[in-house]
Amino acid sequence: MASHIVGYPRMGPKRELKFALESFWDGKSSAEDLQKVAADLRSSIWKQMSSAGIKYIPSNTFANYDQVLDTTAMLGAVPSRYNWSGGEIGFDTYFSMARGNATVPAMEMTKWFDTNYHFIVPELGPDTKFSYASHKAVNEYKEAKALGIDTFPVLVGPVTYLLLSKPAKGVEKSFSPLSLLGKILPVYKEVISELKAAGASWIQFDEPTLVKDLDAHQLQAFTQAYTELESTLSGLNVIIETYFADVPAEAFKTLTALKGVTGFGFDLVRGSKTLDLIKGGFPSGKYLFAGLVDGRNIWANDLAASLSTLQALEGIVGKDKLVVSTSCSLLHTAVDLINETKLDDEIKSWMAFAAQKVVEVNALAKALAGQKDEAFFSANAAAQASRKSSPRVTNEAVQKAAAALKGSDHRRATNVSARLDAQQKKLNLPILPTTTIGSFPQTMDLRRVRREYKAKKISEEAYVSAIKEEINKVVKLQEELDIDVLVHGEPERNDMVEYFGEQLSGFAFSANGWVQSYGSRCVKPPIIYGDVSRPKAMTVFWSSMAQSMTARPMKGMLTGPVTILNWSFVRNDQPRFETCYQIALAIKDEVEDLEKAGINVIQIDEAALREGLPLRKSEEAFYLDWAVHSFRITNCGVQDTTQIHTHMCYSNFNDIIHSIIDMDADVITIENSRSDEKLLSVFREGVKYGAGIGPGVYDIHSPRIPSTEEIADRINKMLAVLETNILWVNPDCGLKTRKYAEVKPALTAMVSAAKLLRKELASAK
């Protein structure tokens, strides 16, 4: 009965690791305290898998911050700015790399493939020195062994590590980290030898970059690496694990021909095409780790369907060579359904969090070995059937409305320059108009009011009056600062997705469904289980209240459909784009209600548009097409005089600029303050952009307060490549996380800079 788990969440069922890390970083607890919490979490995870009957239990998938950073530490690849002097890497150096310290900045963080998890990007150059500097993998293997559990040590594979790295500062941009392969393999050999000496009999290398579009030279690196490691690996069973998509045919050939490898792991949930490759030819005598339990969602597995897939695979690879596994690490799903006391029983019966997925993997392995737990399987079949037929899942009206979208492109009737003229006649804004992105600081008092209202400790009347007072304060402040287009500050909102999800049908919310985003930061994604619709207006009450407090234009504030989709756990019983179109229709209703209520400027944020981009070039166009179409659906029905804004993060920009132009918003504001040059280069290269654009003029992620001169200088740089009449002046993101003591002087400087340049432009005329 062979069962295997690729990896497991580290935070703990009640976010124990998060609180231990933050307490340690704040100097409230010692390194020993943190190590104890971490060791307790690891041992409970190993024991849980062991008692569930899992045969191949992973170790070293736990991390105090990130598994790629753990690999950087293992290789001693510490950038010189951290002044590491050699020896075993401790918390000081490790957390400085992750978070920066008083004197030097952190290493860059970026998304792990197409998940919402972020890893710390290695910074390498031709002179990087490598040495075995963190014995974590071996220590954790021994730690589990002392508990009587023999684990499967997991390492980020050498080729994936290098392909995810970037050239360090000061190194030629054209430098290829892959050229360092020969220099890192000696360290991998030391680690493998130590694991072997400690008694390990299996070892797992995660090489997920095999699912991406790789060229011949990159594929060759896999052959080179594992040929080079072959003699060190002899006597060990070696599995190479891939996940997040299907493996392209060329990569499959390279992978299955690798020397010294015992087995291969595939994601058969997101990589259904890999099944055809396996059926077309799998090397005889090798193990197949079949990833059939979804590590990226919260739905219960369809056990009957999985079992029949496994039985077909058994015919190809043989009974003793088939291992049941998860599609990827369970890091990307919530921890344990047992802690969900508020979810209703029907919806809960359709779900499985990480702890339940471990049980599913084991149940499938037992069934395959002829020891099927009939009761477990029939309960699962009943839940699958109830989910298919539940009236809560299907809403005929929504299905009809979404089907009716197919015929149209949903573009506004007039082109953007004509719309901007009509809007200007109505709004009468100065050149270089100023605005902010949406949120204002959320004080402790404000959070307390929301918390007490949610807990029914204060009346609705008291709550509305407290929020109204806060909006009034924010409106008055913006008028004093002389900002042109105002916002209400979003004091009533907890989170840009959750706030809307709570008011839409088809959404459910967990109490403890936390998932690690980076370091100690966790997110609690909403769960979309059914057809989405908007029972009643969501934001009109607050936006019209705010507009009534001022004669200046007040922006309505909404989160766009693609961002709501990409930041949620999405139903898996229909294509993602169908769910996205449903959300778009719900947001469209809201946009039109805001317009009717006299709101003339409406912002629809699409912060996560690029996050959904598929891992393969060949699939990008289809995604961008429906994502951009979804955005257009939300606002295709408004009048020319209604100005539609959107806000995005800079990484969204350059490579998908044509899709962004195709969104056809009237004004787009961009978080770009850390990468001005990158952003403006697009326009320098002659991309024609006729809509309004507001590249952030200062970085709100830092407490630093910029001067008027500094902001004026940035605006001037932008004016060198953008037309005066389309440029907006704004911070780069919402101000929710800042303090008023930082926000007031920064916005004062921003408005002064805009006025200074208006004067200069007028006198130049």
pLDDT at 495 over 90: no
Q: Which residues are within 8 A (CB) of 440 and not within 5 positions of it... i.e. 6 or more apart?
A: 474, 477, 487, 489, 490, 491, 735, 736, 743
What confidence score (pLDDT) does residue 699 get? 81
What confidence score (pLDDT) does residue 651 get? 59
Average pLDDT for 68-84:
97
Q: Are residues 423 and 280 in the same domain?
A: no
Asked if the structure places residue 118 within a domain, the reply is yes
Residue whose C-alpha is closest to residue 669's, from 642, 692, 687: 692
What confidence score (pLDDT) does residue 671 get? 80
Asked if the structure places residue 477 within a domain, the reply is no
Only one residue has tokens 């978080």, namely 671
pLDDT at 163 over 80: yes
Asked if the structure places residue 465 within a domain, the reply is no
What confidence score (pLDDT) does residue 684 get? 73
pLDDT at 626 over 90: yes
Other CB atoms within 10 A of residue 490 CB:
22
Tell me the HSE value of 489 on the side-chain side, using a 13 A CA sphere.
Answer: 23
Q: Which domain holds residue 370?
A: 2-389
pLDDT at 108 over 90: no
Taking the C-alpha atoms of residue 717 and residue 714, their distance in angstroms, rounded to an integer, is 5
Q: Are residues 335 and 419 in the same domain?
A: no
Average pLDDT for 159-181:
96
What confidence score (pLDDT) does residue 653 get? 64
Q: Are residues 622 and 552 in the same domain?
A: yes
Tokens of 302: 């369809």
Q: Are residues 350 and 431 in the same domain?
A: no
Residues in the annotated binding site for L-methionine = 437-439, 490, 605
User: Which residue, 356, 389, 422, sits at the end of a domain?
Assistant: 389
Only one residue has tokens 């219960």, namely 300
The pTM score is 0.93
Residue 432 pLDDT grade (very low, low, confident, very high; cuts 50, 70, 90): very high
The catalytic site residues sit at 701
pLDDT at 408 over 90: no
Residues in the annotated binding site = 18, 116, 437-439, 490, 521-522, 567, 605, 647, 649, 658, 662, 671, 733
What is the domain-level CATH number for residue 327?
A: 3.20.20.210
Residue 104 pLDDT grade (very low, low, confident, very high; cuts 50, 70, 90): confident
Q: Are residues 376 and 433 in the same domain?
A: no
Other CB atoms within 10 A of residue 153 CB:
25
Q: Which residues are within 8 A (CB) of 675 and not within 5 positions of it... i.e. 6 or more apart?
A: 650
User: Which residue, 373, 389, 405, sits at the end of a domain?
Assistant: 389
What confidence score (pLDDT) does residue 124 get? 98
519-575 pLDDT per residue, tens: 999 999 999 999 999 999 999 999 999 999 999 999 999 999 999 999 999 999 999
Q: Are residues 365 and 294 in the same domain?
A: yes
Cβ atoms of 568 and 432 within 8 Å: the answer is no
Cα 388–391–393 angle (5° rounding)? 60
Residue 289 pLDDT grade (very low, low, confident, very high; cuts 50, 70, 90): very high
User: Which residue, 389, 405, 428, sits at the end of a domain?
Assistant: 389
Which residues on adjacent β-strands are paired with residue 322?
288
Other CB atoms within 10 A of residue 370 CB:
8
Residue 40 pLDDT grade (very low, low, confident, very high; cuts 50, 70, 90): very high
Higher pLDDT, 641 or 723: 641
667-724 pLDDT per residue, tens: 999 887 555 666 777 777 777 788 999 988 888 777 778 899 999 999 998 998 888 9
Taking the C-alpha atoms of residue 192 and residue 228, their distance in angstroms, rounded to an integer, is 13
Taking the C-alpha atoms of residue 107 and residue 368, their distance in angstroms, rounded to an integer, is 46
199 Rama sector, left if φ>0, alpha if ψ -120 to 50, beta otherwise: left
Asked if the structure places residue 421 within a domain, the reply is yes
Taking the C-alpha atoms of residue 667 and residue 646, their distance in angstroms, rounded to an integer, is 7
Q: b/e per residue, 256-283, with b = 16+ CB within 10 A?
A: bebeebbbbbbbbbbbeebbebbeeebe
Average pLDDT for 638-655:
84
pLDDT at 609 over 70: yes
Asked if the structure places residue 553 within a domain, the reply is yes
What confidence score (pLDDT) does residue 259 get? 86
Residue 594 pLDDT grade (very low, low, confident, very high; cuts 50, 70, 90): very high
Average pLDDT for 605-631:
93
647-666 pLDDT per residue, tens: 987 655 667 888 999 999 99
- What is the number of domains present in the chain? 2
Asked if the structure places residue 93 within a domain, the reply is yes
Helix, strand or coil for residue 244?
Answer: coil
User: How are beta strands 118-120 and 109-111 bridged, if at all?
Assistant: antiparallel
202-256 pLDDT per residue, tens: 999 999 999 999 999 999 999 999 999 999 999 999 999 999 999 999 999 999 9
Average pLDDT for 573-587:
97
What confidence score (pLDDT) does residue 652 get? 53
Q: Are residues 297 and 438 in the same domain?
A: no
The average confidence (pLDDT) of the chain is: 94
Residue whose C-alpha is closest to residue 485's, from 493, 496, 475: 475
pLDDT at 111 over 90: no
Q: Which residues are within 8 A (CB) of 494 and not within 5 positions of it... i.e. 6 or more apart?
A: 450
pLDDT at 98 over 70: yes
203-216 pLDDT per residue, tens: 999 999 999 999 99
One-character DSSP codes across 10-68: SS-TT-HHHHHHHHHHTTSS-HHHHHHHHHHHHHHHHHHHHHTT-SBEEES---SS-HH
Q: Are residues 345 and 428 in the same domain?
A: no
Asked if the structure places residue 458 within a domain, the reply is no
Q: Are residues 176 and 274 in the same domain?
A: yes
Tokens of 763: 């006198």
Q: Are residues 211 and 293 in the same domain?
A: yes
Q: Are residues 581 and 666 in the same domain?
A: yes
Q: Are residues 421 and 373 in the same domain?
A: no
Residue whose C-alpha is closest to residue 354's, from 118, 1, 2, 11: 11
Asked if the structure places residue 288 within a domain, the reply is yes
Of the candidate ranges 86-100, 103-117, 173-187, 629-643, the one whose mean pLDDT is the lowest: 103-117
